[in-house]
Amino acid sequence: MGEQADYWDTVGKAWQHNRSHALWRAHSDAVYTALLADWLPEDSVSRVLKTDLFDEACSAGLVPLLASRAHHVVGIDVSIVTAQAARRQHRELKADQCDVRWLPFADGAFDVVVSNSTLDHFEWLSELVEGLVELHRVLRPGGELLLSLDNLANPAIAVRNALPRWLLRRLHMLVPYDVGATCGPRLMRRLLIEVGFEVAEVKAVMHHPSLIAVAVARLLQRYGKYETQQCYLELLGSFERLSHWPTRFVTGHYVAARAFKR
């Protein structure tokens, strides 16, 4: 893990001590909680794996929902700083440091894997596929993968990902941490099938003008009254209606899939 773990340790420390993102994180949690509440099995399962703990380290995250649907929730993150912060906030969470491409779990160890915006931070698409192969391995036969990635069909994401990494790091205020290779809905579906999944559904989520929405959220977090902040969260939430439009894969920041291990 080495250099990559050190980098994400630095990012994790910065975000955990910066409350200016709290309003935006609340919106992200709300969108993903609604998506997973619809996709997770209604009956409790034994073990769930979450492959990124940034949400849980910097906000309430998704563990409260996952804990209501599973007897055991396990989380991993490449950053030990982030994993430790998530453990402090969620005592019911078993959190460890590891790379999603090399998971320290037995074959078929989990009933459900939740991987929201984890595999889209590697430099190469082949590394994303390595992660998918590992997620397939640790799921039991018939187990469910809930996956989201940056949506390359969104023009803003396509332009961003066309820029060199050194330039993106210089534009730190616009892109606050490293992004990586990703795909749109068609390629996501094809990769999942090639790895050995049966794809049940593909959606797009987080429909908003991202740069403007994040900037306004930071301003309101710092200067806005509670009532104004709540109105803004409702406004952002209303953009999710676009997930039902024919243009959803153009406007959605993330593409999300529900798939089952064959």
pTM of the entire structure?
0.93
Domain boundaries along the sequence of the chain: 2-261
The CA distance from 183 to 125, in Å, is 8
Tens-place pLDDT, residues 78-109: 999 999 999 998 988 999 999 999 999 999 99
91: exposed, middle or buried (C-beta count within 10 Å: 0-12, 13-18, 19+)?
A: exposed
Tens-place pLDDT, residues 13-41: 877 777 778 898 999 999 999 999 999 99
DSSP alpha helix (H) spans, the chain: 2-16, 22-39, 54-58, 63-69, 80-89, 125-138, 155-162, 165-170, 185-195, 210-223, 226-238, 248-251
What's the CA angle centered on 234, arms 228 and 240, to 5 degrees? Answer: 150
Instruction: State the CATH class of domain 2-261.
Output: alpha beta
Q: From first to last of its 262 residues, what are the pLDDT tens digits of the chain?
A: 677 888 877 877 877 777 778 898 999 999 999 999 999 998 899 999 999 999 998 888 999 999 999 999 999 999 999 999 999 989 889 999 999 999 999 999 999 999 999 999 999 999 999 999 999 999 999 999 999 999 999 999 999 888 887 776 776 656 667 789 999 999 999 999 999 999 999 999 999 888 888 889 989 999 999 999 999 999 999 999 999 999 999 999 999 999 999 9
Contacts of residue 97, defined as CB under 8 A and 6 or more positions apart, other chains included, come to 1, 5, 76, 77, 78, 79, 80, 83
- Check residue 7 and give its pLDDT: 81
The CA distance from 120 to 80, in Å, is 19
